[in-house]
Structure 1
Amino acid sequence: MIGSIGVRATPPFTGPIVVPKAALTAATHALRQELAGSGIRTILVDPATIHTDAGDKLARDAERIEQGFSTAERSRYGTAFHAMASRFVGMHAHGSRPEVVADTIVRALTTRRPRARYTVGKNALPLSVIARLPIPLADALRRRVFGLPSRPSSASPERQGRPRSPKKPRF
């Protein structure tokens, strides 16, 4: 099965891409258990940063999405979304050749004792490390990398309409 490291190191704004891959990953783990007694092995290949046409498609799709942002959406997500898209496009432009994934698949299919999971491609190690961090730390790191705020600003909709704490009296 061909998954994605994005399932384990989920960057912001990638939900639509990683959710189906997460389902495939879960199915792979379930099948591995169900088929263990039959001699059928289930192997997951998790590509990291691979240079494919997906980077060009992301650039086109991101531009179209940004143009469709309302003023509120642009205010809330514009900078972070643009930073994420630009970062991903740049990463993919300098990613590993697709052949590294193909070579890994061949190795997994021809080795006597294949591993249950292969992570392959540029950035595989740092993305795997992020995936193993405690969730609050990993989330903070992802927000920092992609320029997302760690908490709502005083002007954000989450804060608007909330009563302010009364000032403490001075003595």
Structure 2
Amino acid sequence: MSATGSTADRQTVLVTGASSGIGAEVARQFAERGHTVFGTSRAPEKVTDPIPGVRYVRLDNADQGTIPALLAEVGDIDVLINNAGESQAGALEDTPMSAIEDLFAVNVFGPVALTKAVLPGMRERGRGTVVMVGSMLSSFPVAFRSNYAATKSALKAFAFATRREVAPYGIRMISVEPGTIATGIGDRRSIHIGEDSPYRAEYETLAAATRRNEDAGIDAPTMAKVVVDAALASKPKPFYAKGNSAGIVFLLRRLAPRDAVLALTARKHGLPWIKA
């Protein structure tokens, strides 16, 4: 496959969570390159700023029952970008199990179910690409983001393990980890911290640092280009990361002791390192 977007190379692309943020920019860039693009939203009729060349279709990641109707409407899919998801923060002790289960339903089980649904068609046609959009919090977990980091770690593991499984059938599995992105996701993040929680003071410190980091993060078009280029590469790598000085910090992760990496991650988010 080529990234030129010519008619001969035109792919049918499904981008989940295409109504805002990275997903909207990924859909835009695929459309600008001449591909047939479908973008999902829980309420496609309410998309206020539709992207030219993108057709919006309904999908609720938390409801796997919405998948059959989606695929019936879209047809064969060449490229699936599993981007839709939710963000969550707070103390593990203060977070109800129901909230954790709901987060996994949206961020993990929904994307995995959709991937399973498109794999048979890709396998029969002998080609296809699936991109799991994760988070660098998977590689660099930080306090008060445990549930979110765990969901993104699960997506990465699915992509890495399934890559070899589907490779004989011409299907490519790719994991992409964005660093801190300035998309306003912090305004939509669910938060679980008790008013009188013993963790509240440190959580507020982390939350303030997170807001500063997100305000200074890379923009959605820059991150989207990484996703689109990876999906259209003739020989994609298993893993891509962008933002938060990714090249340097991943090198440090390979060379430095785990405690040192965890300490630096904590400090990046305003917290002193306390060795357990």
**TM-score interval, normalised by the smaller of the two chains:** 0.7 to 0.9
Task: Tell me: higher relative CO, structure 1 or 2? Use CA pairs within 8 A at least 6 residues apart.
Answer: 1
C-alpha separation in 1, matches of 2:211 and 2:259: 26
Among 247, 262, 266, the residue aligned to 1:139: 262
Alignment of 1:120 with 2:246, yes or no, is no
TM-score, normalization by structure 1: 0.72
Gaps of 5+ in 2: 1-131
**Partner of 1:80 in structure 2?**
202
| Matched residue, 1:155 | none
Structure whose residues are more often strand by fraction: 2
**Equivalent residues in 2 for 1:56-71, closer than 5 Å:** 56-58=187-189, 61=190, 65=192, 68-70=194-196
Q: Which amino acid aligns with 1:19?
A: A
**Runs of 4+ deviating beyond 6 Å:** none
Provide the identity percentage. Answer: 27
2:39 maps to what in 1? none
- The one of 144, 147, 153 equivalent to 1:16 is 147
Q: Provide the residue aligned with 1:108 in structure 2.
A: 230
Partner of 1:52: 183
Q: Residue 171 of structure 2 corresponds to which residue in structure 1?
A: 40
> How many residues are aligned here?
143
Is the 1:7–1:21 contact (alpha carbons within 8 Å) kept by the matching residues of 2?
A: yes
Amino acid in the other structure paired with 2:158: A
Partner residue, 2:33: none
What secondary structure does 1:150 align onto? Answer: coil
More helix by share: 1
* Structure 2 equivalent of residue 150 of structure 1: 274
1:31-75 CA distances to partner (integer Å, 9 max, x unpaired)?
1021121221111111001111212234xx55xx55x332xx34x
Paired AA for residue 22 in structure 1 = S
Shift of 1:144: 4.2
The 8 Å contact of residues 180 and 217 in structure 2, kept in 1 or not, is answered as yes
**Could you say what the CA RMSD is over the residues aligned between the two structures, in angstroms?**
2.3
Instruction: Give the CA deviation at 1:20.
Output: 0.9
Q: Is the 8 A contact 2:141 2:262 kept in 1?
A: no
Q: Is the alpha carbon distance of 1:126 and 1:86 closer, same or farther for their aligned partners in structure 2, counting shifts above 3 Å?
A: farther
